[in-house]
Amino acid sequence: MKLGFIGLGAMGKPMAGRLAGAGRELYVYDVQKGALDELETRGAKICRSPEEVGRAADIIFLSLPNSAIVKSVVAGENGVLAGVQEKKCIIDLSSVDPTTTRALAAQAGLKGVEYLDAPVSGGVSGAEAGTLTIMVGGPEAAVNKVMSILEILGKNIRHVGDTGAGDAVKIVNNMLLGANMASLAEAMVLGRKLGLSGEVMHEIIGSGSGKSYVLDAKLEKFIMKGNFTPGFAVDLQYKDLGLAADAAKNEQMPLPMTSQAMQLFEMARARGYGREDMSAVIKIWEELMNVEVRENR
Ligand code: NAD
């Protein structure tokens, strides 16, 4: 079975690397040439368009920034659908909205091509280690056919429902991630103002009831080092909070916590931190309060 991979960014590159490392014939495409070179040295074949990937590979993975880009890569000019033939399968690992997914799955279906939404959780380290959680939406038979390939990428792989259900779980997960990050940023800066060091807060809260994924994943590795190279970019987390806001709007459901968190991410984008790791939102409070959590005082 020949594999394709489109979108070799923070997540896509290590995932594609794992597929190449597993000895699979792999065809890759990205708009940034630099992203492709490393995969080429690992034996992957570089394609000139998504269409070419669609023609060459049987299973085509996507790991792209947002719904609009996924739509153009799949169904636009020189898109994957222009190259694929029936019985192939497109697996979208990106975090996008379920409506776009359902529309693309219907278009793919007209060509006899399976389409699965399979967003991931676990960050760049999970992508490198092959320990991602993958939440898959789509027909069960199609999911079963690609399970052994998904197992190269993730440890916890769940078929969560029909087309779009994977996207829905991911939206709910990431609205919590964004709100937790916004809370952590406030809490750490207040703690610093109260004279606590980042190390003490990490040690005590890390074994207390305030513990969270973001405390473990973001405090030591990013905030305490003052290094905000992503990781998971502010822009992408902002996009995910927007997906939750849009979904809630359709359901006429208010989301006060999510809206508050979104404003903080908007502030970070306005300050020019959009391409930095999501933990860079802490700089908004550090700048406002004239303090840095990583200061060792
Ligand atoms: P990224 O911005 O690092 O990578 C995206 C890649 O897509 C880039 O290499 C970019 O050049 C490429 N790209 C953009 N437009 C393209 C096009 N038209 N054709 C081909 N390639 C194109 O993003 P990422 O952090 O790797 O995230 C990818 C997806 O996974 C996003 O939907 C994100 O929300 C999701 N996600 C990210 C993380 C994380 O920790 N970074 C975790 C879980 C899910």
pLDDT one-digit tens code per residue, 209-251 = 999 999 999 999 999 999 999 999 999 999 999 999 999 999 9
Q: Are 11 and 120 in contact (CB under 8 A)?
A: yes
Q: What's the Rg (C-alpha) of the chain?
A: 20
For 72-98, the pLDDT digits (tens) are 999 999 999 999 999 999 999 999 999
| Distance from Cα 95 to the centre of ligand 1, integer Å | 9
pLDDT at 148 over 80: yes
What would the pLDDT profile of 39-62 be if each residue is shown by its tens digit? 999 999 999 999 999 999 999 999
Ligand 1 and 8: CB distance under 6 A: yes
The Å distance, Cα 85 to ligand 1 centre, comes to 26
170 belongs to the catalytic site: yes
Please state the domain extents for the chain: 3-162, 168-289
pLDDT (tens digit per residue) in 116-144: 999 999 999 999 999 999 999 999 999 99
Which tens digit of pLDDT belongs to each residue from 153-178? 999 999 999 999 999 999 999 999 99
Query: Would you tell me which CATH number, out of the four given (1.10.1040.10, 3.30.450.20, 1.10.20.10, 3.40.718.10), belongs to the domain 168-289?
Result: 1.10.1040.10
Measured distance CA(189)–CA(255) in Å, rounded:
25
Q: From the CB of 6, is ligand 1 less than 6 Å away?
A: yes
- Answer yes or no: is the C-beta of 163 below 6 A from any ligand 1 atom: no
Strand partners, 89: 59, 114
3-162: CATH topology is Rossmann fold (3.40.50)
- Ligand 1 centre from 90 Cα, in Å? 16
Q: Which of 293, 271, 151 is nearest to 215 (CA)?
A: 293
> Is the pTM value of this prediction over 0.75?
yes
